[in-house]
Amino acid sequence: MKILITWWAGFVGSHLCKRLLDEGNEVICLDNLFTCNKSNITPLLHHPNFTFVLHDITQPFRMQVDQIYNLACPASPVHYQKNPVETMKTSVLGAMNMLELALKTKARVLQSSTSEVYGDPSIHPQPETYWGNVNIAGSRSCYDEGKRAAETLFYDYHKAYGVDIRVIRIFNTYGPHMHPSDGRVISNFIMQALKNEDITIYGTGEQTRSFQYVDDLIEGMVRMMNNVDWFIWPVNIWTPFEFTMKELVEVILALIPESKSQIVYQPLPEDDPKQRKADNQLAKEKLGREPRVELKEGLMKTIEYFRKFI
């Protein structure tokens, strides 16, 4: 099969790319290398079934393909808030360009949406039917509202033109190939602990996230693309584990016992969600699988990966 991935040089894209190549597919990757981790790119460049195209998906793209995974958009708050207008354009124009491509080529297109569409949720855990609680004018809005608008485009292209769509809402994901200065909590805490720097907890550290290891996400993504027939509504992907940031620090420090880091508390960023956990019922029913990698196991592999940057 000929498969297009947008934003492949990012963390999730590089794992997805490897999985699809290992399965014998021909993979074409589009990236403008905005949040690129160069070490993610190099190993695949000489693969015979791999093509890299330097392209910004806010511009139209034409190629005959069978499937499209649209991952495009930086996902770390630090990165996506640097250029909010570009973030919104990548989400919305990028989605439209990929939907146009799907319409013309009759490809199936999967949108990687996000738990951020729920904003600072008033329902816990969050089912896909929850409409969310998102600030329209805050520092996270460019990402949250961009992803929400992209989802709407997906449903409307399906309803108006019959485009074959799949939508997943990805919860906090971590693992090897994250950029060490990505700015998200797991990479920050691990790098700080490895470098004996202060560990920065924002706010009280009582806010929660449910973290999934990248292999579980990729499995869910590929199943959603291939095993789920004509289900156009979003599916949370996905993890039953929920931790406060204080608990996360404890687990990380226990795995890096040589660390001399101290914990420091810094102000909570604007609109930082207080709690987040997926309602997994729909994912269980549609994907027939539960996440397998527990936090400690996933963190051990991630810490090993980050050690080479010290």
User: Which amino acids are annotated catalytic?
Assistant: 143
Residue among 151, 157, 147 nearest 99 (CA):
157
How far is Cα 67 from Cα 106, in angstroms, rounded to an integer? 9
Place of tokens 């904003």: 119
The residues, ordered by sequence, that sit 6+ positions from 210 with a Cβ below 8 Å of its Cβ are 171, 172, 239, 240, 241, 242, 243, 276, 277, 278
For 31, 99, 136, 212, 282, the CA distances from 220, given in Å and listed in that order, are 23, 21, 30, 11, 12
* 241 is a contact residue toward ligand UDP (CB under 6 A): no
* 81 is a contact residue toward ligand UDP (CB under 6 A): no
Nearer of residues 196 and 200 to ligand UDP, judged by Cβ:
200
Residue among 62, 84, 74, 81 nearest 36 (CA):
74
Please, what is the minimum distance in Å from the beta carbon of residue 264 to ligand UDP? Answer: 10
Contacts with ligand UDP: how many residues (CB under 6 A)?
Answer: 14
Sole binder of ligand UDP in the list 100, 197, 272, 279 (CB under 6 A): 272
Among the listed ranges 49-57, 100-108, 268-276, 301-309, the one in contact with ligand UDP (CB under 6 A) is 268-276
* 209 is a contact residue toward ligand UDP (CB under 6 A): yes
- Considering only residues 177 to 206 of the shown chain, the ones binding ligand UDP according to CB under 6 A are 184-185, 188, 200-202
Sole binder of ligand UDP in the list 141, 172, 210, 239 (CB under 6 A): 172
Chain residues in the site for ligand UDP (CB under 6 A) = 77, 172, 184-185, 188, 200-202, 207, 209, 245, 268-269, 272
